[in-house]
Amino acid sequence: MAEYRSEILICGGGVVGLTTAYVLAQRGVRVTVADVSATGQEASWAGAGMLPPGFRMNADSAELRIRSYSHSLWPSFVQKLREQTGMDNGYVVCGAIEFPDSHQTCQSLLQSAVNDGVVAEQQLSSQLRPMVPGLGNEWQSGVWLPQFAQVRNPRHLQALRAACVRLGVIIAEHQASLRLERDEQKLVSARSTTDVFRFDRVLVAAGSWSSLVLAELGITIPVKPVRGQIVQLRMDRLPFRCVLEVGRRYLVPRPDGLILIGSTEEDVGFQKANTADGVSSLLDFACSLVPELRQASIVKMWSGLRPYSSDELPLLGQIGDFQNLFIGTGHFRAGLQMSPATGTILADLLTDNEPSISLDGLRADRFL
């Protein structure tokens, strides 16, 4: 049995765990990431990589505050990752058009963008058609958000993992039956069937599975999986270059001709699957928005389990009676967007530093 010793053990190698490890390692902290599977293969891999902007780091809304903080960090974060690894994660400011769904008007979309401090312009049919030539006739107006960006999740995770390794982070994958072990009010080690990990502090960043890890320690958090399905299409000529959104459904074009259609929200436990119902509803949505997508080829489809929390906001920081137990989970639909801010906040908390934004509405213990 191999034994590893680090200052901080991170259980879970999704975007939250790897980003936190990356920020900590840059500060000279000795970190190990232990995952029951391969890192970066769950929700963080499955997501669409949309990065909506925000410019209100002092907002009363916790969601807007952490989104804005993350938005401010993304460009320098990407540049540093690229310098350290030579890898391109596909980050690009591509813009987005939001179309009102049945509960919205263009005016309400514009108002919410203004509240977020975001540049937004209402576009009528004649302005939309040059941007999306194949747009369906019933889509007569939308809101253009030029600061909206995207990243290619699998590439971003590969770059994060490579940067962590370069900085000396130990990445221990396929740790079957990984369990935290206590010595009275302190957690002291984690043991799998093959290895043992000793640490000063531990961060549970196991996405949808975090509630199971904490339940073993007698701590209940309202986090559960919510499945999202995605269908990936290919067109020889990309019919639009910005993200198109209607409510919680969207099309994300990649510069190499791929288009992601997302996504469903399904409360089905830990079952990953594509269903006839889910896939047909995504295809109907895509073809109603841009009818020429009927000619696109279907490349593949997949699903992922978003870590949903009951107020749809992340839980960050120390939790329960164990002084050295921290969590970072519950990011639901925005874990990629929020990852630079999340990793920085968690690294601050784990090293007794004050985070740059208020954590009101984001603290890990708000449901206890």
Binding region for ligand FAD (CB under 6 A):
11-17, 34-37, 39, 41-44, 46-50, 178, 205-209, 213, 228, 230, 262-263, 304, 306-307, 329, 331-337
Paired tokens of 334: 């925005």
Residue 112 or 274: the one with the smaller Cβ distance to ligand FAD is 274
The owner of tokens 């963008």 is 113
Residue 32 or 263: the one with the smaller Cβ distance to ligand FAD is 263
DSSP 211: H
Whole-number minimum distance, CB 27 to ligand FAD, in Å? 20
H-run or E-run covering 324: none
Residue 155 or 292: the one with the smaller Cβ distance to ligand FAD is 155
DSSP string, 142-157: EEEETT-EE--HHHHH
Q: Three-class SS of residue 16?
A: helix
Q: Three-class SS of residue 128?
A: helix
Whole-number minimum distance, CB 141 to ligand FAD, in Å? 24
Give the phi and the psi of residue 293 in degrees, each rounded to 5.
Answer: -70, -10
Whole-number minimum distance, CB 177 to ligand FAD, in Å? 9
How many other CB atoms sit within 10 Å of the CB of residue 353? 12
Instruction: Determine the Cα angle at 368 with ends 317 and 336, to 5°.
Output: 40
Instruction: Report the DSSP pairing between strands 201-204 and 195-198.
Output: unpaired
Whole-number minimum distance, CB 150 to ligand FAD, in Å? 8
CA distance 39 to 164: 12
Residue 45 or 139: the one with the smaller Cβ distance to ligand FAD is 45
CA distance 59 to 245: 24
CB 81 within 8 A of CB 18: no
Whole-number minimum distance, CB 306 to ligand FAD, in Å? 5
Q: Three-class SS of residue 4?
A: strand
Residue 280 or 295: the one with the smaller Cβ distance to ligand FAD is 280
- Rama region for 332: left / alpha / beta (φ>0; ψ in -120 to 50; rest): left
CA distance 362 to 275: 34
CA distance 283 to 176: 38
Q: Three-class SS of residue 44?
A: helix
Whole-number minimum distance, CB 221 to ligand FAD, in Å? 13
Whole-number minimum distance, CB 78 to ligand FAD, in Å? 14
DSSP string, 224-276: EEEEEEEEEEE-SS-S-SSEEEETTEEEEE-TTSEEEEE---B--TT-----H
Whole-number minimum distance, CB 129 to ligand FAD, in Å? 26
Residue 140 or 302: the one with the smaller Cβ distance to ligand FAD is 302
Residue 236 or 256: the one with the smaller Cβ distance to ligand FAD is 256
Whole-number minimum distance, CB 198 to ligand FAD, in Å? 16
Residue 113 or 171: the one with the smaller Cβ distance to ligand FAD is 171
Residue 56 or 126: the one with the smaller Cβ distance to ligand FAD is 56
Whole-number minimum distance, CB 174 to ligand FAD, in Å? 10
